[in-house]
Structure 1
Amino acid sequence: MLRRKIESRLEAWRAAPKRTALLVTGARQTGKTYIIRHFAHEHYEHVAEINFIENPELTAVFSNSHDVRNLLMRLELAVDVPLVPGKTLVFFDEVQQCKELVTAIKFLVDDGRFDYALSGSLLGVELEDIRSVPVGYLSELEMYPLDFEEFCWSQGVGREVFDVLRDCFAQKTEVDSFIHDRFMKLYAKYLVIGGMPAAVDSFSANGSVMDVRMIQENIKREYRRDIGQYARKEDRLHICSIYDLVPSELNNPNKRFTFSKIDQGLRFKAVASDFDWLVAAGVTIAAYNVDAPCVPLEMSKDRNLFKLFYNDVGLLTGSFLRRTALDVLEGNQDVNYGSIYENVVAQELSAHGFDLYYYNSKKMGELDFLIQDRDDNVLPIEVKSGKAYKRHRAMDNVLDQPDYHLDAGVVFRPCNISVDGKVTYLPIYMVGLLENA
């Protein structure tokens, strides 16, 4: 079984004095169903599961009743396990097919006899209004592909080794060279395999990169099918085009998405909702340009200028030629790692609670990322894959600008830790040590 960090949050949900229904969101194939099932069978004597795609006839059964006695009667008839008060978790899966149940969950929670977990795909799209309906009755947890630390666990690396990394990170001291080299090799694997549980499981079992690539292509096919099923008919072609263009757009020098690539002469206003659909579905990550690298970043973002990334770096490298993917796996330095590194940084920062921004100015230069923590500190980030990692004009310019009040910057690169003035140079595998949750 793959160990996931979300398990501790599930434990906290169950231990909370005021019980709510649990809603696990996230993109398809990130492991939502598996983790809920595993958690349920570990902590409950009885688990009743209803999948609204496997049992479409139950959608109508649970769609037209908000009366708790009626709902419980229907539930009892729909499952084949005993419903024992205080010892049963009821798991509703693929709830995007039965939106009415989500809005009615408060009646079941108020009844208090059983615990409830809900999950599904495309919840950010199909159920975008539910968070305002059952206020106080839903605890939402978002699930992501495995981050690098979780991937390392799957490869037999113990948690105590990451404790060593965290100490080096906190004290800004070099990582032991043997440990550093080991993590760079693991990171090369992560760049190719990514964090989708099926891909990681397959690689852990047989070490076949070709099997992983087949899994990754199947996941992307599922995403395209979701677009065909859930997006508005008039938007589907543009959404598919945007999704398929992500790898080539990231290889552009400025990595900013070009609307004309979707359709000649197309303007952002015509496709704004299509980009939003992909981000809300969890299959892409957006980083928005800001007017200035200072708080609050959200207030100065420009929705017309953004970079778009895949939600999993493995899906990105899976779209490259096989030889390129093998070169990445082997750590070949002739590979252009620019888009790969930026995608993995976007993926890790997003999974660790950060909204993503970047800054581009003719006068100051371009910063790859800007993040803002809960204490309203802004951190400029550069991502370097080559030897000229100390060349960062934009970073130097914004740190020297007193109006921005920036005390420090970070450069992620494939080398060990070092510090030069306000700039800390961190190995690329330490991105996930930045936390905002």
Structure 2
Amino acid sequence: MLYRKIEKLIEEHLKSDTQKILLIDGARQVGKTYIIRYVGQRLFENFIEINMVEDSIGDRLFANTKTIEDFYLQVSMIAGNKMKAKSDTLIFIDEIQAYPHLLTLLKFLSQDNKFTYIASGSLLGVTLSQTTSIPIGSIRKIRMYPLDFEEFLYANGMNEFVISAVQNKFKELQSLDENMHNKMMDYFQKYLLIGGLPDAVNSYLNEKNIQSVRNIQNETHDYYAADASKYDEEKKLKIRRIYDLIPSNMENKKKRVIAKNIENKKGKTFTDYSDEFEYLISAGIALNVQAISNPVFPLIESTGKNLLKLYLNDVGILTSILYGNNIRAILDNKSSINLGSVYETVVASELTAHGYKLFYYDNRSKGEVDYLIDDYNSLSAVPIEVKSGKDYTVHSALNTFVQNEDYHIKKAFVVSNERKVQTKGKITYIPIYYIMFFNANSTLENNIEF
């Protein structure tokens, strides 16, 4: 079984005294159902699982369920013999987005407190935005992502002792020795190919067949694109077009979305497609990085530029689109292949999965910095530059950025393939795999000793 960090969170929530219902959000195929089922069956003697998508195309028992009494009645038709005490009965409502009215009903199920509940779904961000009565105060919504790089290491047999030792090196800003660095880079390159979709990871572990992995990635990419057809009839073609443009946008120098290219219409602006962007981001299939021109803490207060970068939610899907079955493009680190977009996608997915809201610095005269994140301990923004080639020390825009006294920058990072950790002024150079230890829940100041 694949190790998932969210397992501990789910278990702690289900064991707690809270009446809030845990709602696991996330894109399709990231492993929501599997991990909930695994924890639920282990903790509860009576585990009841109801898939609302299956119900919606089958018996439609819950299609018109508006009261808790009706809900209990329908559940009893499926598993009445398992409806025991709250302490040993868990009702798992899977794919709840199929029936948006059940999201409202969660509030009353929580208040009734008769059983323990957990729910999951995809497109929940979209569904909740269209729900007239959001059950505020009754649910705890958590987003689940594909396996991050640390989880990928565990899947490949690396144990907690080794990962903890690597993390301590990161905290102390020390380099790994040559052999360990090469091992980490080997795993990192494989992660670029395999990504974090559980089915793709399991396929790789069982078969070591890139064709099988790519088939899973391509199918998932098609699923994500097809989901747009379930949305607003007027907007679905534009959503699909924006989604399909993401890989090619990544190959451009600026990498940002160009509004006029979406429908090939001059005069179109970012705001013309705000609903379409929101769909892709809320659905969890695209990660957004918003431009900012006044990078002072907190960054959210300085947003306003109508510029946006979108990244695919899984790096394996991206490399499948870009390179197909040719794994040498990545494993051989060919100088003719620019892996900048691939590396930036990994960094975006790692930082997002670890709780950061992402921004980038865009200034017509001073250049661009790849990522900005908030550091709540030092109350300052932290710039991160991503380098995939050998010229990792060349970053004129970052140099100018950290020297600007108006921005109050205390530290910055450059991530690259380089093994050696070193600090020059405000800029610290670290190997790309150390990005897995950046965590918004524990400040960078606490993570790193200066």
- TM-score bucket of the superposed structures, by smaller chain: over 0.9
Q: Which segment drifts farther, 262-271 or 114-123? A: 262-271
Shift of 1:79: 2.8
Task: Determine which of 377, 380, 388 is the counterpart of 2:380.
Answer: 377
Task: Determine which of 328, 337, 340 is the counterpart of 1:338.
Answer: 340
Shift of 1:65: 2.4
Distance (whole Å) between structure 2 residues aligned to residue 308 and residue 35 of structure 1: 28
1:93–1:118 Cα contact (<8 Å) kept: yes
Distance (whole Å) between structure 1 residues aligned to residue 22 and residue 375 of structure 2: 26
Task: Determine which of 404, 413, 426 is the counterpart of 2:407.
Answer: 404
Percent of matched pairs sharing the same residue? 36
The answer as to 2:440 corresponding to 1:436 is: yes
Distance (whole Å) between structure 2 residues aligned to residue 225 and residue 366 of structure 1: 34
Match of 2:211 in 1: 210
Give a deviation string over 1:152-207, Cα, whole Å, max 9, x none: 11111112111112111111111122111100000000001000111001001111
Q: What letter is aligned with 1:386?
A: G
Q: Counterparts in 2 of 1:160-239, with a 5 A limit? A: 160-229=161-230, 231-239=231-239
Give a deviation string over 1:354-391, Cα, whole Å, max 9, x none: 11111121332210110113443310010011111111
Q: Which segment drifts farther, 244-253 or 98-107? A: 98-107
Q: What letter is aligned with 2:430?
A: L
1:290–1:357 Cα contact (<8 Å) kept: yes
Give a deviation string over 1:6-46, Cα, whole Å, max 9, x none: 01111221232223211000111110011110111111111
Give a deviation string over 1:327-361, Cα, whole Å, max 9, x none: 21344344211110111111111100011111121
Q: Which segment drifts farther, 385-394 or 106-115? A: 106-115
Q: What letter is aligned with 1:406?
A: I
Q: What letter is aligned with 1:273?
A: D
Match of 2:33 in 1: 33
Match of 2:243 in 1: 243
Scaled by the length of structure 1, what TM-score is found?
0.95
Match of 1:147 in 2: 148
Distance (whole Å) between structure 1 residues aligned to residue 279 and residue 286 of structure 2: 9
Q: Counterparts in 2 of 1:418-437, with a 5 A limit? A: 418-437=422-441
2:26–2:144 Cα contact (<8 Å) kept: yes
Task: Determine which of 389, 394, 404 is the counterpart of 1:391.
Answer: 394
Shift of 1:254: 1.1
Q: What letter is aligned with 2:72?
A: L
Shift of 1:116: 0.5
1:293–1:398 Cα contact (<8 Å) kept: no
Distance (whole Å) between structure 2 residues aligned to residue 7 and residue 43 of structure 1: 12
Shift of 1:303: 5.0
Decide whether aligned partners of structure 1 residues 58 and 354 sit closer, same or farther in structure 2, where only a CA change above 3 A counts: farther
Q: What letter is aligned with 1:134?
A: P
Distance (whole Å) between structure 2 residues aligned to residue 323 and residue 62 of structure 1: 43
Q: Which segment drifts farther, 80-89 or 304-313? A: 80-89
Match of 1:305 in 2: 307
Distance (whole Å) between structure 1 residues aligned to residue 64 and residue 106 of structure 2: 11
Q: What letter is aligned with 1:79?
A: A
Shift of 1:135: 2.3
Task: Determine which of 366, 369, 372 is the counterpart of 2:368.
Answer: 366
Match of 1:318 in 2: 320
1:48–1:80 Cα contact (<8 Å) kept: no
Q: Which segment drifts farther, 69-78 or 289-298? A: 69-78
Scaled by the length of structure 2, what TM-score is found?
0.93
1:354–1:373 Cα contact (<8 Å) kept: no
Q: What letter is aligned with 1:430?
A: Y
Distance (whole Å) between structure 2 residues aligned to residue 421 and residue 59 of structure 1: 64
Decide whether aligned partners of structure 1 residues 325 and 276 sit closer, same or farther in structure 2, where only a CA change above 3 A counts: farther
Match of 2:46 in 1: 46
Match of 1:104 in 2: 105
Q: What letter is aligned with 1:396?
A: N
1:49–1:79 Cα contact (<8 Å) kept: no
Match of 2:358 in 1: 356
Give a deviation string over 1:374-419, Cα, whole Å, max 9, x none: 4433100100111111111121112111111111100000112222
> What is the SS of the residue equivalent to 1:335?
coil
Give a deviation string over 1:226-285, Cα, whole Å, max 9, x none: 1112x1111111111111111111000111111222222251232221111111111001
Distance (whole Å) between structure 1 residues aligned to residue 63 and residue 91 of structure 2: 14
The answer as to 2:120 corresponding to 1:123 is: no
Distance (whole Å) between structure 2 residues aligned to residue 303 and residue 142 of structure 1: 26
Q: Which segment drifts farther, 238-247 or 110-119? A: 110-119
2:203–2:213 Cα contact (<8 Å) kept: yes
Q: What letter is aligned with 1:348?
A: E
The answer as to 2:279 corresponding to 1:257 is: no
Aligned residues: 435
1:284–1:309 Cα contact (<8 Å) kept: yes
> What is the SS of the residue equivalent to 2:49?
strand
> What is the SS of the residue equivalent to 1:23?
strand
Shift of 1:224: 1.7
Match of 2:446 in 1: none
1:62–1:74 Cα contact (<8 Å) kept: no
2:101–2:131 Cα contact (<8 Å) kept: no
Give a deviation string over 1:276-330, Cα, whole Å, max 9, x none: 1111111001111101221231222235211110001111001023365432134
Distance (whole Å) between structure 2 residues aligned to residue 242 and residue 5 of structure 1: 31
> What is the SS of the residue equivalent to 2:90?
strand
2:380–2:408 Cα contact (<8 Å) kept: no
Shift of 1:132: 6.7
